[in-house]
Amino acid sequence: MAPKGKVYRGSVKDFPGFNASQDADALYNAMKGFGSDKDAILDLITSRSNKQRVEICQAYKSQYGKDLIADLKYELTGKFERLIVSLMRPPAYSDAKEIKDAIAGIGTDEKCLIEILASRTNQEIHDLVAAYKDAYERDLEADIVGDTSGHFKKMLVVLLQGAREEDDVVSEDLVEQDAKDLLEAGEQKWGTDEAQFIFILGRRSKQHLRMVFDEYLKISGKPIERSIRGELSGDFEKLMLAVVKCVRSTAEYFAERLYKAMKGLGTRDNTLIRIMVSRSEIDMLDIREVFRTKYEKSLHNMIKEDTSGEYKKALLKLCGGDDDAAGEFFPEAAQVAYRMWELSAVAKVELRGTVQPADNFNDDGDAQVLRKAMKGLGTDEGAIIEVLTQRSNAQRQQILKAYKAHYGRDLMADLKSELSGSLAKLILGLMLTPAQYDAKQLRKAVEGAGTDESTLIEIMATRNNQEIAAINEAYQQAYHKSLEDDLSSDTSGHFKRILVSLALGNRDEGPENLAQAQEDAKKLADVASNDSSDSLETRFLSILCTRSYPHLRRVFQEFIKMTNHDVEHAIRKRMSGDVRDAFVAIVRSVKNKPAFFADKLYKSMKGAGTDERTLTRIMISRSEIDLLNIRGEFIDLFDKSLHHMIEKDTSGDYRKALLALCGGDD
């Protein structure tokens, strides 16, 4: 069933010993008389390939003079009926029906159009156009042109031609030129040249475009997705983003679509049915693995939790297995992970904070503004926020000195007495040096009853050698004991050893060493695959806590080559608790530190209640390092801006100060 030379990645295969006539009999008997045997119907239909189902339809008509699809529609109801009937149609006719429904009547289901036309191959597009003509005696292009408009319409028409280049031989010169043309058409142009985006993204081969996206990242410092979000809008923007996602990994695109179809309240059943049917004989195994890696739960389990009855049973049969149980390797997903590591290794992204040193800075003038804001009855919180969120940390240290010199008073003490709650914690945190602030957060995490392991992991796993050295010094000065001693006395086992290793600040800082990276990857792969190994955590510690970031990126790539799994997958599978969380934090920090913090910020605000400690800590600690990058990752990951989420999730002067640090709405 797979194309010649390719491994079959579908979850539904040809049924061995297939007999169309016997299956037609079985279905007829399942629907005969009062009621119908739904289990028999779903068991049979979900365990036959589409080609075999088509033969069953023909045999059913020959033997009973009846239309099987019409009988199934009559006997079944609701979502289960829609799913079973969709399975009975050939793929091209199923796509044609979906598109016809998307453009029929009032309004258009643009998401359906985008999903189908952005993800199908040239041959699948040609088959779809022919099936649409055959089924409805209408021209698909004419119908889409009549139902859409603008650049969205133009790109759909380009995709409908099924004329994407398919040559795997890529010209490096053309790659560089296309990347340059896209940059000039968007970021470097007043207005946007949408035609250039349409031509390049609509016609070039996938292999070529992957290299264009890598080159674009190198020359612009940002991924193509972020530029599309900034330059395009509406359905056209969504379509182009879908094209980019499918170029990068069709499996990852569908994993994301499935997740969004089931997360939150309610289920988007049309989307769920369409994808489970259309991908069941193409790449469902790859989708499952990407889903498991990306969302930390199996597709099988999410379907199980989100659906019910025969509908659930049929979907689970199409899913084909539970990846939370011991499973097989998935090479396509491994290749996706490998490309992601390669991308992070070559990208030279400039880290940028949102808070810059203020121009025409006057420390004594700022001290006077702050004194006036706190003098007399009441406090002018707005003035305090305006000054302190718009000065660099070095400038704030100068203001502290100027305040004492001018008034003989301690600015920190005055701020503490005048402010309260979340705002006080934020403003007082800004007044400490970065090392003092981290030291204070670590001290809070270990003092008193219980330990805040999450804070320990976040800080220790993400700071560089220089930052760790400064934290150690600040900790000793503030608390008259060493950070290492406090970490040792408050934690235990492998988790303690990880923290102590990181607290030494002895990570290598050199470039990658390919031979050493291959050796390191083999050591990790060997212990990760050995269920009885008692040196698992020790081996991971000796490599993850000591090697340089560039070297670890190469180690993780080599690990994928050897195991077909991302190293994070192995960690989650073999470890648990704080040890697992610490190693995962290191891996994510190595891969993409801004994305790690974007995820932490999102989790601090999603759902009921806000984790203000985490929100405050990250906004302070990253404001002069990489908060601008974090903002970009936030919108890429969660389709909403950090500014918007802070605005929605916080209030009052605390919100005002956070938004000032955020520095803008993306």
pLDDT along the chain (666 residues), means of 10: 67 95 96 87 96 97 96 94 97 96 87 96 97 96 94 96 87 92 77 85 94 92 88 92 95 94 87 97 92 83 93 95 56 57 58 92 96 90 96 97 95 95 97 97 90 95 97 97 95 95 95 94 90 79 95 91 82 91 95 92 89 96 95 86 94 96 86
Return the exposure string of 28-44: e unless at least 16 CB atoms fall within 10 Å of the residue's CB, then b: eebbeeeebbbeebbbb
Identity at 362, one-letter amino acid code? N
Indicate the pTM of the whole model. 0.68
Which of 104, 81, 83, 108 lies closest to 94, judged by CA? 83
Which of 598, 486, 585 lies closest to 545, judged by CA? 585
Per-residue pLDDT, 335: 58
Answer for the pair 155, 239: CB distance below 8 angstroms, yes or no: yes
Q: Would residue 577 be called left, alpha or beta, if left means φ above 0 and alpha means ψ between -120 and 50 degrees? A: left
Identity at 664, one-letter amino acid code? G
C-alpha 426: how far from its chain's center?
29
Per-residue pLDDT, 329: 45
Return the exposure string of 540-571: e unless at least 16 CB atoms fall within 10 Å of the residue's CB, then b: bbebbbebbbbbbbbbbbbbbebbbbbbbbbb
Answer for the pair 304, 113: CB distance below 8 angstroms, yes or no: no
Per-residue pLDDT, 617: 97
* Residue written as token pair 């031989």: 169
- 269-279 and 78-88 helices cross at what angle (nearest 10)? 30
How many angstroms separate the Cα of 339 from the Cα of each of 43, 88, 519, 545? 38, 37, 21, 24
Per-residue pLDDT, 158: 96
